[in-house]
Structure 1
Amino acid sequence: MNKTLANIYFNSNFIFSCFIILASFSMNLLAEDKLLIEGREIYQNGRLPNGDNVTAIVAGDVPINGSQFSCENCHGRSGMGATEGNYVVPSVIGDFLFTQKHQTKRPNYTVKSLKKALVDGIDFSGNPFDPLMPRYILSDSNVEALAIYLKSLSSRIQPGLHDNAIHLSTVVTEDIDPTARKAILDVLQKFASEKNRQTRLESKRPNRGLRPEIRLPTLFRPWKLDVWTLKGDRKTWQSQLQNYYDNDPVFAMIGGLSSGSWDPIGQFCEKNKLPCLFPTTKLANSQPNDWYSIHFSKGLELEANILAKHFVKNKRNHIIQVYCSKIASKAASILSANLEKNQIKSSHLKFDCADNVPNSKLQTYLKKKPNSPVILWVEKEKLLAMNSSQKINKLYLSSVLLNGDLDDLDGLAFEAFYATYLYRLPGKRDSAMTRFKVWAKLRKIAITHPKLQAEAFFAVFAANDSLEHIRRFRIQDYLLEMLDHSEGLPLYLPSYPRASLGPGQRFLSKGGYILPLINGKADIENAEWVQP
């Protein structure tokens, strides 16, 4: 009996001890998670745990309080640093700062020496930093939190990245015309197959490193490109994408094609921190803080913003908007909201997409406001079915909904006729489009949808260029930063004029034309460039 009691007593103490150890371990994890979150806020936003902004000391003794001197602004979200002119911003990821995995020229930083660097501006050898590097007012706990976050930048396993392959995907929604689907997939898959032929013998190149123990697997990895097809209700798209991703994660999403808003796909990319590069969509519908999707333009939203600026400039007091689809309704709402800020009113004529534009209802609107411009947020088949004998003071069309195609509009005999046009003006030389067509012809790819296929080619070309530049540091945020700093990349962009990219920018094209059409033909001499 005594022996049984002793065993019970021993087991109880053992269980209690295990509970204490587990509780202590859990508390340590929670404390570290808390510091990680605090460190991320300091690094990305320059914000302290109490909500105040970090104070930076610049030009020797000038205190600046604000987010403009956050670590991310110079070192990038990835922490991999950058080059600005002749000035090199070094990497600050944990593998560089706290180990000798990628460098051997200095001792490892500690939390103590990191604080001396950040607060006093003194490096590991006692020398002052470059004057361009600010000093910061940070406590010991602030520096500890920042150090934990910097270590996390190099510890995250990058999805879709394997020693023998890099896994990528593209997305096509099932409502896309089968010929358009085939057209873009022919381009993407041909590029990937050529990449995998190793025409430059990348996989056989010697692996160079400072020491054998720090050498990484070969830089070359074949591409594995999956096609994710989204079906059914748009509300289920995110769950469909998550299933694809969970079953076989990818490093990045390249291109893609959707006839509606990109919003559900964009939300998925943000949630999973997945780079989604240059999809073709009529409405990006992104949020101001979105980071992981890079688009050609805002699409219909950009057109709405262009029209708003145009109508304000021309002192209009009322407009009429005609539409039927959800994305057109979204564009009309954006335009109305912009105009309301300038005391310009708008009337909305919504009709069923199964029907043609209701001419009689439109005339009723025009009788009340005869001088109001009319914006037709409709596709070409609806436009061509209209009764062009109607008296409309000024008519505006959406080039996005027309897929950039202004052909066959000469039958529309309105008094004044315009298109918001996001693309290179008709007849203007497009060397990037020519380059794509030569590439496709040499590979016997049928060019059935030139604009869509050229955009797919640019997406895969840009992704490949950035992957080659980041070389062995295959970090998803670093991939995006390479695109941010690819100043020459827009030169290879077909269709879109005046394109540019820069740090944090997520749209290549930021403006468009108000393009007059005379007898259905573009009057490029009087086209007006508008950048909202």
Structure 2
Amino acid sequence: MKVAIWFLVGVWVGSGDSAALDMADAQHLAAGRAIYHEGRLPSGRPLTATRGEGSRLVGAAAACVQCHQRSGMGLAEGANVIPPITGPALFGARLPDGYAPRRAPGMDFRDYPFRTRAPYNESTLAQAIRNGHSNDGRRFSILMPRYTLDDAAMKALAVYLRSLSPQRSPGVDERVVHFATVITPRVEPGDREAMIGVLNACFAEHALDQTKGPSGNAESGDRQFWKLHVWTLVGPPQSWHRQLADYHARQPVFAMISGLGGEAWSPVEAFCERAELPCLFPNVQPAADAGAGRYSFYFSRGLWLEAAVFARQLAARDSTLLRSGRVVQLVGRSDRAQRAAEMLTRALADSGVPVETWRLDNDQDRLSGLAANDALVLWLTPTELAGLMQRVPLPPRTESVLVSGILSGMQAAPLNPAWRKVAVLAYGFDAPARWDQRMQRYLRPWLKKYGLARADERLQGNTLAACNLLSEGMLRLRGNYLRDYLVEWVENYPETMGLASAPQAYPRFSLGPGQRFSSKGIYMVRFADADGQRIEPLQDALIVP
């Protein structure tokens, strides 16, 4: 039985094939981690390295993590392949990604050299890192720097490399990978039912594939069955971290998939970051500071993206209007509206544009005093907007009025015909006609196949897209069940996910290293007529702040 020990440096180390760590080894581990992640030597001096063409790397730029990734599983870009340098890959006898080389009759197949070389030991590894040659004499790629490491630094790095990926991340049993979805209080029962229905069907689809044998072919490593756990939170947000920790203690999970919440999601994201748990594409409005960590991914910034785009639009107005006109935002009672207004104020302050913030309860009667070169922004819910229409049936003389689509209900915003003529709506979803075509192809037949009723199709489509993306990512782990490796697949290789994101409600799916929001722009649209919900974009291109 393997025993796992948690060290203060924050690395899980198994006692299976590697020796139990004493305090000296723990110090080596911490020093090696600093070399790998930060480019900092045990002496405190910056790590230095030289590439084959003579370029010099210093400090963080020379750190191993830049190419080999946090998981140690490497990277591929075009024809350039950065090999895994985990403990099993460097020092073990098995191939690093867990499957045998391909062979075909009559073909001379040349495998990657790092997959066929003999295992390293600490001496041959030191020579390779210092001299740029593998233990079979092959010269490394020009991308691999040559490092000047003394024996103490080399020992520390070797200890840390041995600790990388010695065992699976929590949440993986011999035959089952456990996942969770989180539902916060005050979620509509219909929304809960719709999301869980899609996830259950998606997991059942994966189980059906498993009954047919290993997923796809012998090269696939995703041979585990999946089990979904629904973590339902109760009470105030301050208590959620404890509840999540209790759920995770009872049954660790490998990742959190989708999810459903109201305005407060920050405690969930904070738990994901602290537990180093991938949390993939929940159906929520992220917090204003969301996405700063490593493990939480979202489809869109939502309201905060609207505020950023509004700021760009307003800052780009004609300079004469900037000198004489005002920017006024009418803000409703919700916390989200007030935070969005604060974000717009800060963004425009950076451009030197002052903003007047009016409160719906106190200032709506002042709207008639706005001038033609003033700009008006509405941060109002449908109920608040309907009340404003009764009290102020005609819009002010401003050339246009910017309206938050997320708060107002998108094209269902209850605007009077006169207001519709001047309203410009922030529309973060895909254009309705194009979205409907995608749903006809990628969502509705799938719902019918699994006997699911059509409900909120944006919610159902986003949930299915999240589950599809998880499935594609898990497939590419090839049995290396490491949470960081899953994160790296999601952020580095969105183009390899194929049509996994097709059911989503958003117009684009694009990620890259360090990016945590896959949809980065919105459309600005007008109402096509005084009645009805038909909208048309002011321009075909997405507006990206």
TM-score (norm 1): 0.84
Is the Cα–Cα contact under 8 Å of residues 222 and 477 in structure 2 kept in the other structure?
no
Q: Deviations over 1:468-499 (max 9, x none)?
A: 12121111111122222131437433221232
Say which of 149, 155, 162 aligns to 2:173: 162
Deviation at 1:368, TM superposition (A): 7.4
- Give the equivalent residue in structure 1 for 2:411: 406
- Give the equivalent residue in structure 2 for 1:489: 497
- Give the equivalent residue in structure 2 for 1:373: 375
| CA distance, structure 2, for counterparts of residue 447 and residue 423 of structure 1 | 19
Deviation at 1:365, TM superposition (A): 6.6
Change beyond 3 A, Cα 1:199–1:65: closer
Is the Cα–Cα contact under 8 Å of residues 49 and 146 in structure 2 kept in the other structure?
yes
Deviation at 1:157, TM superposition (A): 4.4
SS of the residue aligned with 1:258?
Answer: coil
Deviation at 1:526, TM superposition (A): 3.7
- Give the equivalent residue in structure 2 for 1:451: 458
Does residue 510 of the first structure (1) align with residue 512 of the second (2)?
Answer: no
Deviation at 1:346, TM superposition (A): 1.8
5+ residue gaps, structure 2, are 1-20, 97-114
Deviation at 1:38, TM superposition (A): 2.9
Pairing 1:38-437 to 2, within 5 Å after superposition: 38-49=31-42, 52-102=45-95, 105-198=116-209, 201-202=212-213, 219-287=222-290, 289-314=292-317, 315=319, 316=322, 318-350=327-359, 357-358=360-361, 361-364=363-366, 367=369, 371-387=373-389, 388-391=393-396, 393=398, 394-402=400-408, 405-407=410-412, 409=414, 411-414=416-419, 416-429=422-435, 431-434=437-440, 435-437=442-444
Change beyond 3 A, Cα 1:342–1:51: farther
Compare 516-525 and 198-207 and name the one that shifted more. 198-207
SS of the residue aligned with 1:197?
Answer: helix
| CA distance, structure 2, for counterparts of residue 436 and residue 288 of structure 1 | 28
| CA distance, structure 2, for counterparts of residue 321 and residue 42 of structure 1 | 52
Does residue 530 of the first structure (1) align with residue 543 of the second (2)?
Answer: yes
The one-letter amino acid of 1:411's match is: N
The one-letter amino acid of 1:173's match is: T
Change beyond 3 A, Cα 1:118–1:324: farther
Deviation at 1:179, TM superposition (A): 0.7
| CA distance, structure 2, for counterparts of residue 156 and residue 91 of structure 1 | 15
The one-letter amino acid of 2:416's match is: G
Deviation at 1:307, TM superposition (A): 1.2
Change beyond 3 A, Cα 1:457–1:324: same
SS of the residue aligned with 2:356?
Answer: strand
| CA distance, structure 2, for counterparts of residue 431 and residue 133 of structure 1 | 47
Change beyond 3 A, Cα 1:428–1:409: farther
- Give the equivalent residue in structure 2 for 1:13: none
| CA distance, structure 2, for counterparts of residue 445 and residue 396 of structure 1 | 37
- Give the equivalent residue in structure 1 for 2:103: none
The one-letter amino acid of 1:406's match is: Q
SS of the residue aligned with 1:175?
Answer: coil
Q: Which has the larger radius of gyration?
A: 1
Change beyond 3 A, Cα 1:488–1:471: closer
SS of the residue aligned with 2:261?
Answer: strand
Deviation at 1:326, TM superposition (A): 2.0
| CA distance, structure 1, for counterparts of residue 49 and residue 73 of structure 2 | 21
Pairing 1:2-17 to 2, within 5 Å after superposition: none
SS of the residue aligned with 1:344?
Answer: coil
The one-letter amino acid of 1:88's match is: V
SS of the residue aligned with 2:402?
Answer: strand
Deviation at 1:181, TM superposition (A): 0.9
The one-letter amino acid of 1:395's match is: V
Deviation at 1:198, TM superposition (A): 4.1
Root-mean-square deviation (CA), in Å? 2.8
Is the Cα–Cα contact under 8 Å of residues 210 and 225 in structure 2 kept in the other structure?
no
Is the Cα–Cα contact under 8 Å of residues 51 and 145 in structure 2 kept in the other structure?
yes
Deviation at 1:225, TM superposition (A): 0.4
- Give the equivalent residue in structure 2 for 1:4: none
Q: Deviations over 1:40-85 (max 9, x none)?
A: 2322233345555432312432213253443222222211112211
Is the Cα–Cα contact under 8 Å of residues 169 and 225 in structure 1 kept in the other structure?
yes
| CA distance, structure 2, for counterparts of residue 30 and residue 430 of structure 1 | 61
Compare 505-514 and 324-333 and name the one that shifted more. 324-333
| CA distance, structure 2, for counterparts of residue 77 and residue 506 of structure 1 | 16
| CA distance, structure 1, for counterparts of residue 463 and residue 304 of structure 2 | 21
Q: Deviations over 1:182-203 (max 9, x none)?
A: 1111111111123223465226
Deviation at 1:303, TM superposition (A): 1.4
Deviation at 1:447, TM superposition (A): 1.2
Is the Cα–Cα contact under 8 Å of residues 179 and 254 in structure 2 kept in the other structure?
yes
Compare 323-332 and 363-372 and name the one that shifted more. 363-372
Compare 490-499 and 453-462 and name the one that shifted more. 490-499
Change beyond 3 A, Cα 1:429–1:198: closer
SS of the residue aligned with 1:446?
Answer: coil
Is the Cα–Cα contact under 8 Å of residues 321 and 376 in structure 1 kept in the other structure?
yes
| CA distance, structure 1, for counterparts of residue 155 and residue 510 of structure 2 | 38
Deviation at 1:306, TM superposition (A): 1.1
- Give the equivalent residue in structure 1 for 2:106: none
Is the Cα–Cα contact under 8 Å of residues 319 and 346 in structure 1 kept in the other structure?
yes
| CA distance, structure 2, for counterparts of residue 80 and residue 156 of structure 1 | 13
Compare 365-374 and 384-393 and name the one that shifted more. 365-374
| CA distance, structure 1, for counterparts of residue 386 and residue 59 of structure 2 | 54
Change beyond 3 A, Cα 1:429–1:297: closer
- Give the equivalent residue in structure 2 for 1:501: 511
